Structures are given as structure tokens and as C-alpha cells.
Chain A
Amino acid sequence: DGGITQSPKYLFRKEGQNVTLSCEQNLNHDAMYWYRQDPGQGLRLIYYSQIVNDFQKGDIAEGYSVSREKKESFPLTVTSAQKNPTAFYLCASSGRAGYTFGSGTRLTVV
């Protein structure tokens, strides 16, 4: 089955630590995206990549970094510079019919 896999499902981070969220897709999609969702809120775009080795900042890129070394993979690093990282993170890829989303990673700062 084609789809997007995000891992881990739950992640706890101590203040000052960097953490990396994994996103893998086997849909052969060129474009991939990271969104952040806060409780009761819509999705805000962090970073997106339309092709391997290229990515662009979204609306809330500060404190985050990404890489796109392979078509299938688009990991997101939440750095210590992100002051309020507790949120639900969603990865997506897009094809002709729209976005396909992963099941999300819930990050909590402890």
C-alpha cells in the first residue's frame, strides 16, 4: 500500500534539545510538506520541498530545519531555537489528486 509514514507517533523533548521527526513516502510524489497544528487550530506550513535537494521556508520556519536528500524522505528537525515546540506535526506529500497526509507526530516538551 502506498502512503506516508511518520515516526514516532509520540515524542517527548527536554528543553534545549534538538529532535528529528521522520517522514517517509512511497507514493513517488515530488512535493513534500511539514505542517504544525496547535489545539483547535488549522495547519500552518513550516517547510516544503518540491524536488530533491531543494526546500523552501513556509510561514513559520523559525526554529525548524529540514533536508531532502532522497525523494522518499523529508525529515524535520525541531531545534532548541523553537520556543514553543509542543504541537502536533503533520507531514504530507502531494500528487495530482491532492495531499496525502501521514498520521502525525505529537511532540511534547517536558
Chain B
Amino acid sequence: SQQGEEDPQALSIQEGENATMNCSYKTSINNLQWYRQNSGRGLVHLILIRSNEREKHSGRLRVTLDTSKKSSSLLITASRAADTASYFCATDKSGAGNQFYFGTGTSLTVIP
């Protein structure tokens, strides 16, 4: 059972534009994470935001979390062709230990 759902499923932008992806989830969480996956590769951890945090930055990445709406967004600013990848959110379940649930991902294409 998947807890997180990303939106949109696919996104295509020009280099230099900002890209925003959203994630909605169903149950209470301790934290939410965003991952990136290049085609045919493993996932790379980008950023973790805890349930008591509202916003977090890492380089060109900005993540927000709204626990009242059970949603998160990932913003990539000044996108580059190298940002082309799939992006997944992962949520834990309160009380479910270390188990995380991944959404179906947003496929981002940045056109040079």
C-alpha cells in the first residue's frame, strides 16, 4: 500500500525555469523524504523534513511540509538539464518503525 502520491506524473520545463512537484499522503507521519532517481539507477536521498518543520532548503532545493493538508512540495530552482530524473517522496508511518512508503514519482524533463 503506497502512502505518498506525487503530482504531476510528468513535468517538462526549459532550463533555467523552476520545477515544482507535490506529494500528498494519507496518515500521520514522523518525517517525509524526497529522492531522485536517474533512469535505471538506484534512488538518491535529497532531503528529509520532519513533521515539526515547515520548510527546508538544500542548495537549489526547497521543500515545504503542510501536515494539516498532508502534503509536501519540492521546488527545484534554476533547473538544469542534469536535473532530468524521476523524483519520489517517501513517508514513514507513525509507529511503523523504519518503514517508508514511496509514491509513484514525478518524471521531470529539463530541456536545454
Contacts and interface: CB of A to CB of B under 8 A. Distances in A.
Interface of A: 4, 6, 31, 33, 35, 40-45, 48, 50, 59, 88, 90, 92, 94, 97-104, 106
Interface string B60-95: 000000000000000000000000000010100000
Nearest to A43: B102
B1 A59 contact: yes
A39 to B, nearest CB: 11
A43 to B, nearest CB: 4
Interface string B36-53: 000011111100100000
Contact of B98 (A6, A31, A106): A31
Contacts of B40: 88, 104, 106
Interface of B: 1-2, 33, 35, 40-45, 48, 88, 90, 97-105
A35 B102 contact: yes
Contacts of B43: 43, 90, 92, 99, 101
Contacts of B45: 97-100
A36 B14 CA distance: 32
A50 B102 contact: no
Q: DSSP class of A's interface residues: helix, strand, loop or mixed?
A: strand
Nearest to A48: B99
A94 B48 contact: no
B105 A42 contact: yes
Instruction: Name the 4 nearest CB pairs between A and B, nearest first.
Output: A101-B42, A42-B104, A43-B102, A98-B45
A41 B40 CA distance: 12
Contact of A90 (B42, B48, B101, B103): B42
Nearest to B1: A59
A50 B103 contact: no
